[in-house]
Structure 1
Amino acid sequence: MISDRSKRMYIFLLVLTLGAHAAFQGWRTLLNNFAVEVGGLGGFDMGIVQSLREVPGFLALLAVYVLLIVREHRLAALSVGVLGIGVAMTGFMPSTGGIIFATLVMSFGFHYYETMNQSLTLQYFGHTEAPLVLGKLRSFAALTNILVGGIIFAAASFTEYTTMFVCAGAVAVLTGIWAFMQDPTHKEIAPQQKKLFLRKRYWLFYALTFLSGGRRQIFVAFAVFLLVEKFGYSVQEVTILFVLNNVINWYVNPIIGRAVNRFGERKVLSLEYGALVLVFTAYALTDSPLVAGALYVLDNIFFNFAIAVRTFYQKIADPGDIASGMAMGFTINHIAAVFIPAMGGLAWLADYRAVFAAAAVMAAVSLVLVQKIDSQVAKNAHSG
């Protein structure tokens, strides 16, 4: 149950999550087909786009300095508005350079919002509340994605890409304006560090975050592109896949939050990483469009288990380290993400299977490292 004093923050984050995901899902659903059909982009071009998309994530560490002049909840609202502007711009720029520019604007908004969202969640909700809140927010995000997918599926046959991008972006802009006028904070939260740091005792969080960034970006950059280029998925078929994925996630995400509380982060993340070794290996081997689509859904389900990495950090971090730690975590997550899609684009030209094999290796390394979680939590409890 969410405490009364935190309900205003929960509602604030929920509304921002709905607006942000409505815009981002619209962009994500349309981008690959727009890039291929209108912009004429190839695999290498998309690798460059996806690599540059992660530069704002790498620069998420600068959010700590922005917080010197803007409060966290205000920055969250502004970021969602910027996300919407970037999405709306995309449809007017059907070229590699244009898509890169609009993507950078969108990405700055998305990554700064996600940094603030995670920071505020870990600050305002306790160790047992946070997994449930993260699970619920992801569930509502999935429900939003279903609605967006249904609208795009219905409109794609008679609506231009430009109009769909503008409509998706407008939702986020209006949400950001509403949120900027709200103040869901209270004074019982520990003051946050307004500087960057790397602490030795957080090393496992940093390592898991780094590997997650590299592995996830291979999926984001190339999984849907594989479906479109190799298996010929249309925009309607991609939309159906997204809707199916989000129907499952809408149901599963709250269960994941409860599972983190019941079984602990180590077991939940072990299941995720073990499954992803198999999923990415299968991506490299399959020649079936149906199997590839099923693997896409499975990967998205297991991606949601990543909330356990954040709740693990919450358990070992000093209360005042949350905001700076989330900003640093986003930057570490995107160190690999900045260059891996571009490298993957080059590897794709030789053999696309090598791209997914690399992701399987990263998942295997994560599986080994995650076995140390319980000892890290126990060590922190002892030192505390």
Structure 2
Amino acid sequence: MKSSRFAPFPLAQADQLPLWRRPVALLFLTAMAMPVAFATWSALLNNFVIEVANFDGSDIGWLHTVREIPGFLAIGVIAILLFMREQILGLTSLILLGVATALTGFFPQLGGILTLTMLSSIGFHYYETVNQSLQLQWLDKERAPKVLGQLLAAGSAATLVAYGLIMLTWRTFELSYTSVYMVAGGITAAIALFALFAYPQFEAPNPQVKKFILRRRYWLYYLLQFMAGARRQIFTVFAGFMMVERFGFDVHEVTGLFLINLVANIFFAPLIGRFVQRFGEQRALMVEYTGLVCVFLAYGGIYWFGWGVLLASILYVIDHMFFAMALAIKTYFQKIADPGDIAPTAAVAFTINHIAAVFLPALLGYLWLVSPGAVFFLAAGMAATSLLLSMLIPRHPCKGNETRLSRFVAAVAE
């Protein structure tokens, strides 16, 4: 069946397309394209800002605060969707991420880095908002956990190739930050541009509400998103910074650590998806948050008790693996949501997820200057709070049974 890229293509008829042009294939393609730019930017960032721009803990905190502002403003996606289809918005955002990443090395001053960080972050966060929405719309509830795990593995595999090339060529060919950023960003932008023209505009069976919504019955989902965003910032900003500042990791060593994370994700992400599918979201999240409490306490011990680089590296890998289990938050929402709420709630959830991200990196950057260990102990407290919240998720969540308190509240209301 022929289709114009400008005309809506019913999702129910997608099986008539070649395998490579189906919705799931597009999800896999973009899942592999996005990390090439974003993960390369992340892998080089700490060395780039320390060696080239002379950043300290306060500077890196401000950079990540700027990076998270577009995430906080992700609710703006709802307004854009009044004029643009989700799929087109997602791919154009991915192009912006790639282009901004490609230009990063040309502006090695604080102002230039912050400006391009803002632009790449707009691309990343708007892409991720739309991508999460499309995943939940295009995947049925029964196989969503399994496929989400496979998508994580696909992204890890693509990034593995990129990191492997950085490790093998960085010193051998004396690569510059400018050239690596330009190649990685260019690849992401090129793939997104191809997908923009090669795929039809898939239309999900349930029209999405294109206005701001905030439903009381989603309160637990909102809280889990808020805590996940606050906790993630500490890992994203300070765990990698610690490896460079405290232990003197070079670019190829940081990249090697990232490679270990990727290999672990390739093997474990699909297993995590099947674990969620079999045992449910509550158990998966309880395992994640219990593990993160232990990991963050151990991070703090590295500074307070002088534990060494080997333990820090092991914790970094374990930490990254636990975060893959956060896909259970997505599938939990998919089970309790009205089908038309997925797109607007994805935007609202992204904003909630980034409330703490706007001020936390800069604030904790100052705390880092005084006591790095205290930053990680604070993260352990956040993980413990998330653990308590996860206990409220029912074994079989659905509309009307969003939390373990839902039936009690309904009974009291009657």
| Length-normalised TM-score, structure 2 | 0.89
| 1:234 and 2:254 matched | no
When the two chains are superposed, the root-mean-square deviation of aligned CA atoms in Å is 1.7
Gapped runs of 5+ residues in structure 1?
Answer: none
Deviation (angstroms), 1:380:
2.1
Alignment equivalent of 2:345, drawn from 325, 331, 356 = 325
Partner of 2:4: none
Deviation (angstroms), 1:377:
1.8
| 1:82 and 2:102 matched | no
Q: Equivalents in 1 of 2:161, 2:396: separation in Å?
A: 41
Q: Equivalents in 2 of 1:265, 1:195: separation in Å?
A: 28
Query: What SS does the aligned partner of 2:209 have?
Result: coil
Deviations 1:197-244 (A, max 9, x none): 111100000000000000000110110000000111111110110001
User: Are the equivalent residues in 1 in contact too, given 2:281–2:395 (CA < 8 A)?
Assistant: no
Q: Equivalents in 1 of 2:133, 2:364: separation in Å?
A: 31
Q: Equivalents in 1 of 2:42, 2:29: separation in Å?
A: 20
Query: What SS does the aligned partner of 1:372 have?
Result: coil
Q: Equivalents in 1 of 2:168, 2:395: separation in Å?
A: 51
The one-letter amino acid paired with 1:276 is L
Partner of 2:322: 302
Partner of 2:357: 337
User: Are the equivalent residues in 2 in contact too, given 1:19–1:172 (CA < 8 A)?
Assistant: yes
The one-letter amino acid paired with 1:96 is L
Deviations 1:276-324 (A, max 9, x none): 0000000000231111111111111000000000100001110000001
Deviations 1:26-80 (A, max 9, x none): 1111111011111111111000001110001111110111111110110111011
Partner of 1:125: 139
Partner of 1:313: 333
Partner of 1:112: 126
Partner of 2:239: 223
Q: Equivalents in 2 of 1:360, 1:333: separation in Å?
A: 18
Partner of 1:21: 35
| 1:292 and 2:292 matched | no
- Mapping 1:208-287, distance limit 5 Å: 208-286=224-302, 287=307
User: Are the equivalent residues in 1 in contact too, given 2:149–2:271 (CA < 8 A)?
Assistant: yes
| 1:43 and 2:96 matched | no
Q: Equivalents in 1 of 2:207, 2:401: separation in Å?
A: 21
Partner of 2:25: 11
Aligned residue pair count: 382
Deviation (angstroms), 1:150:
0.7
User: Are the equivalent residues in 1 in contact too, given 2:102–2:182 (CA < 8 A)?
Assistant: yes
| 1:31 and 2:45 matched | yes
Deviation (angstroms), 1:182:
3.6
Deviation (angstroms), 1:375:
6.9
Gapped runs of 5+ residues in structure 2?
Answer: 1-11, 407-414
User: Are the equivalent residues in 2 in contact too, given 1:85–1:105 (CA < 8 A)?
Assistant: no
Which stretch shows the higher mean deviation, 264-273 or 87-96?
A: 87-96
| 1:175 and 2:195 matched | no
Query: What SS does the aligned partner of 1:380 have?
Result: coil
Q: Once the two structures are aligned, what percentage of the paired residues are identical?
A: 45
Alignment equivalent of 1:202, drawn from 209, 214, 218 = 218
Query: What SS does the aligned partner of 1:233 have?
Result: coil
**Structure with greater proportional helix content:** 1
The one-letter amino acid paired with 2:358 is V
Deviation (angstroms), 1:183:
3.7
The one-letter amino acid paired with 2:287 is L
The one-letter amino acid paired with 1:125 is L
Q: Equivalents in 2 of 1:179, 1:187: separation in Å?
A: 16
Q: Equivalents in 1 of 2:145, 2:13: separation in Å?
A: 17
| 1:351 and 2:365 matched | no
Q: Which protein has the larger Cα radius of gyration, Structure 1 or Structure 2?
A: 2
